[in-house]
Amino acid sequence: MQTVARTENQAEISIGRGKQARRAYGFDEVSLVPGSLTLDFELCDVSVTLGSHHLAIPLMASAMDGVVDVGVVGRLGKLGGLAVLNLQGVQTRYENPAEALEQIAGCDKHEFVGLMQKLYSVPVKEELIAKRVKEMKALGVVTAASVTPNMAEKYGRIAVDAGLDIIVVQSTVTGIEHRTAAGNAQLDLKSFVEKIGVPVIVGNCVTYDSAYRLMETGVAGILVGVGPGAACTSRSVLGVGVPMATSIADCAAAREDYQARSGRYVLCIADGGMAVGGDICKAIACGADAVMIGSPFARATDAPGRGYHWGMATPSPVLPRGTRIRVGSTVSLEQIVNGPAQVDDGTQNLIGALKTSMATLGAATIKEMQDVEVVIAPSILSEGKVYQHAQELGMGRK
């Protein structure tokens, strides 16, 4: 593997004589700069292409059990987005997952870890993998499902044989090869991509080099983000994570260099840390082609989590790296995506927010949005908002 080295100077900071670091930025520390051109809202095209599949909107729903079930796959798909079903969650462990979901939503906050470990100890049933895929396909939308690297060969093949359109290979951090303690490779990603027969999205990663290497395996998209999710506790448990604005910009640079060398374009999908429309706009301005979000969709009245949201690693039997948070149930999935918004905090009408931002910035397409100017603006959330914060309204809501 030979990557194309970036030559930009990146200032290093000494955190001690034996360790250097570099400054990284999150969404709250950056802001977007309007230029001399503005557009009519209707001129903004937010579509994206993934393999042979065209998505009218760049929104993907995270493969989390409180966010996606078969019904959400159908509803978001008909709105133009893509919902990813967790092939190793309650949907494939239980014939009737509603009972397990009711227990998770109804338990005390001091008991949910043990309960979830118990519920997720029930083995995945291979027949339910095929059944869920066929149920999704019957809805007439593009279908996608997630599997961990160690089970990708087995469960991925069952799902694709049942008609799945897109497979997502996902773990906290994914490399091009996963090895066991015995030293043998469990997943050769390049070989898997060549054989599986459908577009593969892989994640997660946060650096230029890892993104570039993953692109070389032939994947259609990479998930960018480690640690920022609303229910994720990896930064506390493992000390691992990079702020999203920097992660996206680094991986987007790898995408551009890889395309220049290979002629093939790989989607960068920002995954996690986006709660409101402005976060999505910033993610795309930093270089993302699409975004994968969980907690904003978990708030939908038709989400399976019943007002709760939890991470994929929460049920781990030995080291949970996620928690269960209450996000509440607000409006329908359709209103979260397309409005009309009933609140002023940016959690509803996400596509309206994206198109309005693009129009204000003079960006007619996602690619043009990736080229807008970004500034470091650590005061942007409080600047001029003294009344909102004092009265806990708008941007000052607690």
Q: Which residues are catalytic?
A: 232, 321
Retrieve residue 210's tokens: 């890892």
β partners of residue 309: 325
Retrieve residue 207's tokens: 């650096």
Taking alpha carbons only, the member of 192, 274, 283 closest to residue 232 is 274
Cα gap 82→269, rounded to integer Å: 12
Cβ atoms of 209 and 5 within 8 Å: the answer is no
Taking alpha carbons only, the member of 322, 289, 262 closest to residue 113 is 322
Cα gap 319→327, rounded to integer Å: 24
Local structure of 241: helix, strand or coil: coil
Question: Could you give the angle at which helices 277-285 and 244-262 cross, rounded to 10 degrees?
Answer: 40
Alpha carbon separation from 346 to 173, 278, 281, 374, 396 (Å, rounded):
30, 7, 11, 20, 12
